A and B are shown apart, each in its own frame.
Chain A
Amino acid sequence: DVVLTQTPPTLSATIGQSVSISCRSSQSLLDSDGDTYLNWLLQRPGQSPQLLIYSVSNLESGVPNRFSGSGSETDFTLKISGVEAEDLGVYYCMQATHAPWTFGGGTKLELK
């Protein structure tokens, strides 16, 4: 199975600070069709996960543009440009290039 390693496991930020989360894959996530199926989700406390970014860098409808995704092959990054209070929770990367689909271990974003 593809292992996704997220760093850091915990991130402390102040409101307005820009932060980045890394997701490193044990295999290239470039599919034979030329696409890369790496997604980012946020699970706020007490809520179900919410899709933020799909296929590396595509912002899901309704998601603020302070969120952005980048990367290729095995290294991916989620950036939040100016953390807001509503951004707190656990962030997951998830790959759907290789079966079985797998998730990273999560990064918890806390207020400093």
Chain B
Amino acid sequence: EVQLQESGPGLVKPSQSLSLTCSVTGYSITSNYWGWIRKFPGNKMEWMGYISYSGSTSYNPSLKSRISITRDTSKNQFFLQLNSVTTEDTATYYCARVRRVWGWYFDFWGPGTMVTVSS
């Protein structure tokens, strides 16, 4: 079965960069698409972006030039980097697989990792 696991620091200082890793087992990241989603305190969810099986990326324009999603196929991992963070980036961050069969949807999710931006 496909399993995803996020990892990274739980606390980041304002203006610094947030870096997270998503480790995938049970499926190769050279197939399908792989995304990052975050949930803010309360219920608001935001799609941040994804990386494709070929390495191409798509990002939410709201994140402008702050976001980068990359991958290491040898380790079957993909990464999120978010630059110049503020307290508004405090959220639980999820990685997920995007399935592209009869639609576009997130079918497997990691458990999520909470990131707090604070000095």
Contacts and interface: CB of A to CB of B under 8 A. Distances in A.
Interface of A: 1, 35, 37, 39, 41, 47-51, 54-55, 58, 60, 90, 92, 94, 96, 99-103, 105-106, 108
Interface of B: 43-47, 58, 60-62, 94, 99, 102-107, 109-112
A39 B60 contact: no
Given A39-B103, A48-B94, A54-B102, A99 B43 contact: no
Contacts of B94: 48-49
B105 A103 contact: no
Closest 4 CB pairs of A and B: A55-B103, A106-B43, A96-B104, A103-B45
Given A48-B112, A100-B60, A100-B61, A90 B105 contact: no
A106 B99 CA distance: 22
Given A100-B61, A103-B47, A55 B102 contact: yes
Nearest to B92: A48
Given A48-B94, A48-B109, A103 B102 contact: no
